[in-house]
Amino acid sequence: MKKILNFIISIIFPRTCSLCGKKISFNFEKNICNECIEKLPKVEGLICHKCSLPLPDGGATCSDCKSNKDIYFENLKSPYIYSLQMKKLIKKLKYSRKTFLAKDLSAKLADFIITENIDKNIDVVVPVPMHWLKKWKRGYNQAELLADDVARIINKPMYNALARTKYTKPQFNLKKGQRKENLEDMFAVNKKYADIIQGKRILLIDDIATTCSTANQCAKVLKNLRCKTVVVTLARA
């Protein structure tokens, strides 16, 4: 009965791929077609072992990680490059209320985490937090949607263990130095979860890593609880 109902609905409101716009079969469970998923550029080749920044000229560590002693996460990994296609998907997820995309994207993120054996070395999944006012305006935190699905797939608990204490300017409008300054004293541990996560191995989830400043500030706060943090983002800029 459900299949028949879905078929009728698909005739009236045909489903299309969120990237290419091609029609999708009514019984296809994803919102992005397989062809588009396979074409998303992956983080491959020579990359920084600490932050996964592509290194076209070779080497093991990027100049930022080599010169910066104040890096608080163990490492940062991402399955995809922040390409035009990925930017389009993340923009729809964040700003167009296309929350259904979180299920498709988190499934690929979880596959990556399992393939990289990251799930075997973490205890708890934590999303990068959003300020409560911004979350209220948007209606959701996209990092939390991704983290919730990832935690379920890899069978780990997910806690909103971090809070954003300031309402600040969007990071994408700022230069590197301004981003760091914008995030100073931005995050705090949610007291409700402090005892639960103390000393745990944390998997921190976010949508994009650009300068890694956000992830690093989160890891800095978690380090005060003797936590070790591995960061995984959907895309690496």
DSSP codes joined into one string, 154-206 = HT--B---EEE------GGGS-HHHHHHHTTT-EEE-GGGHHHHTTPEEEEEE
The DSSP call for residue 128 is P
Is 7 a domain residue? yes
Is 42 a domain residue? no
Residue 91 pLDDT: 96
Residue 153 pLDDT: 98
| Domain interval for residue 231 | 70-236
Element (H, E) at 81: strand 80-81
Is 163 a domain residue? yes
Provide the token pair at 58.
């070779």
Provide the token pair at 186.
């931005």
Chain centre distance of CA 164: 16
CA distances from 176 to 67, 171, 173, 218 (A): 15, 9, 10, 17
Clarify whether residues 9 and 86 are in a common domain: no
Residue 59 pLDDT: 85
Clarify whether residues 79 and 146 are in a common domain: yes
How many structural domains are present in the chain? 2
Is 17 a domain residue? yes
Residue 3 pLDDT: 56
Q: What is the CATH number of the domain that holds 74?
A: 3.40.50.2020
Is 124 a domain residue? yes
Clarify whether residues 155 and 221 are in a common domain: yes
Clarify whether residues 19 and 108 are in a common domain: no
Which of 110, 207, 204 has the alpha carbon at shortest distance from 155? 110
Is 5 a domain residue? yes
Provide the token pair at 138.
């948007």
Is 156 a domain residue? yes
Clarify whether residues 84 and 23 are in a common domain: no
Clarify whether residues 75 and 146 are in a common domain: yes
Whole-model pTM: value is 0.91
Residue 170 pLDDT: 65
> Which pLDDT tens digit goes with each residue over 103-146?
999 999 999 999 999 999 999 999 999 999 999 999 999 999 99
Clarify whether residues 89 and 190 are in a common domain: yes
pLDDT in tens, the chain (237 residues): 555 555 555 555 578 999 999 988 877 789 999 999 999 999 999 999 999 999 988 889 999 999 988 999 999 999 999 999 999 999 999 999 999 999 999 999 999 999 999 999 999 999 999 999 999 999 999 999 999 999 999 999 999 999 999 887 666 666 666 666 667 789 999 999 999 999 999 999 999 999 999 999 999 999 999 999 999 999 999
Clarify whether residues 78 and 12 are in a common domain: no
Clarify whether residues 133 and 188 are in a common domain: yes
Query: Backbone phi, then psi, for 235, in 5-degree steps?
Result: -135, 150
Clarify whether residues 18 and 117 are in a common domain: no
Is 54 a domain residue? no
Clarify whether residues 154 and 202 are in a common domain: yes
Which of 210, 162, 213, 155 has the alpha carbon at shortest distance from 184? 213
Clarify whether residues 146 and 224 are in a common domain: yes
